[in-house]
């Protein structure tokens, strides 16, 4: 779903125009989790058009991005998981006062488009489906992957699943494995599954097993363009942009 003209108008008039009048144009370097990639790619042109700022966005898995920041990588704004931003704030690398929730995502199961849709509606149904699958993939360092691995332990089938597990470097790799048929099932954030052409979302994990990954912004303590980065936070956390996050399978805020 692409952002419509009405949404563009709302975003431009209600959010960006007052900001563009008071802040000099800047290039904002953003380090962002893949968990917000689809929504941010859709919203970026509207922000750039109305504010005059340019966005230089590097997407990746949240944990390696955090390691880059800890290693001295330059950035103006980070969009990572709660634990990542909170830890960076404790280290003094992120301004804690700029910590802002922008979206949250639940974990789901994906399949290759056109493949039979298995039952994952209950914990027992999910267990049967996972045990019957020839292969299961998840991102080994992604927030969804780490949580899914804990779910396998929780429901008592980790030992049976690990021999047929394909641990991928990122969510994008999980999607590619599903598309090519190398993985029968993939566990990933629902919005990331939705963004992969050739992949279908079977559904979210059962409610009793569900966990939401919250994506939070934080401005670099060393940013030379902190005002512009804060303008981007205001934009991403506005009610108008919430509709775009919803269209991409996420819940705003």
186-228: pLDDT as tens digits = 999 999 999 999 999 999 999 999 999 999 999 999 999 999 9
pLDDT for position 23: 53
Task: Name the nearest CA neighbour of 108 among 215, 41, 173, 194.
Answer: 194
Residue 99: phi and psi, rounded to 5, are -60, 115
Which string of DSSP letters, residue by residue, matches 188-236? EEHHHHHTSTTEEEEEEPPGGG--EEEEEEEEBTT-S-HHHHHHHHHHH
Structure tokens at 172: 């994008």
Least confident residue range of 16-25, 100-109, 113-122, 143-152: 16-25
What is the CATH architecture assignment of 106-209?
Answer: 3-Layer(aba) Sandwich (3.40)
Residue 251 tokens, joined: 């819940």
Model pLDDT for residues 8-60, shown as the tens digit of each residue: 544 543 444 444 444 578 999 999 999 999 999 999 999 999 899 999 999 99
Among 172, 188, 190, smallest CA distance to 180 is for 172
**What is the residue extent of each domain of the chain?**
5-104+214-252, 106-209
Query: Ramachandran region of residue 157, left (φ > 0), alpha (ψ -120 to 50) or beta?
Result: alpha
Q: Average pLDDT in the 67-84 region?
A: 97
- Of the candidate CATH numbers 3.40.720.10, 3.30.470.10, 3.40.190.10, 3.90.550.10, the domain formed by 5-104+214-252 belongs to 3.40.190.10
Identify the pLDDT of residue 244.
93
pTM of the model: 0.81
Distance CA 244, CA 236 (A): 10
- What percent of the chain is predicted at pLDDT more than 70? 91
Interval 233-243: pLDDT, tens: 999 999 889 99
pLDDT confidence tier of residue 2, bands split at 50, 70 and 90: very low
pLDDT, tens digit, 9 for 90 and up, residues 139-188: 998 899 999 999 999 999 999 999 999 999 999 999 999 999 999 999 99
Would 5-104+214-252 and 106-209 be classified into the same CATH topology?
A: yes
| Tokens coding 35 | 């968990």
Phi and psi for 161 in degrees, rounded to 5? -85, -35
């Amino acid at each position: 779903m692409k952002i419509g003209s009405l949404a563009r108008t709302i975003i431009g008039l209600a959010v960006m125009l007052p900001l563009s009048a008071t802040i000099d144009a800047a290039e904002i370097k953003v380090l962002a989790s893949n968990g917000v990639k689809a929504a941010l790619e859709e919203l970026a042109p509207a922000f750039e058009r109305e504010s005059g700022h340019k966005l230089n966005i590097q997407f990746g898995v949240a944990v390696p991005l955090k390691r880059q920041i800890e290693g001295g990588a330059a950035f103006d704004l980070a969009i990572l998981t709660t634990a990542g931003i909170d830890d960076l704030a404790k280290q003094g690398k992120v301004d804690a006062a700029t910590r802002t929730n922008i979206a949250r995502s639940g974990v789901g199961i994906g399949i290759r488009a056109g493949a039979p849709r298995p039952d994952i509606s209950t914990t027992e149904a999910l267990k049967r489906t996972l045990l019957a699958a020839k292969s299961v993939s998840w991102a080994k360092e992604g927030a969804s992957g780490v949580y899914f691995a804990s779910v396998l332990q929780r429901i008592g089938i980790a030992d049976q699943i690990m021999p047929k597990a394909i641990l991928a470097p990122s969510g994008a790799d999980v999607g590619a494995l599903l598309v090519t048929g190398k993985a029968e099932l993939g566990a990933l954030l629902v919005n990331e599954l939705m963004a992969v052409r050739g992949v279908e979302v079977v559904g979210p994990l059962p409610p009793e097993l569900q966990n939401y990954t919250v994506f939070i912004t934080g401005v670099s303590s060393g940013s030379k363009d902190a005002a512009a980065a804060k303008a981007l936070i205001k934009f991403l956390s506005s009610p108008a942009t919430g509709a775009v996050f919803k269209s991409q399978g996420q819940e705003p805020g």
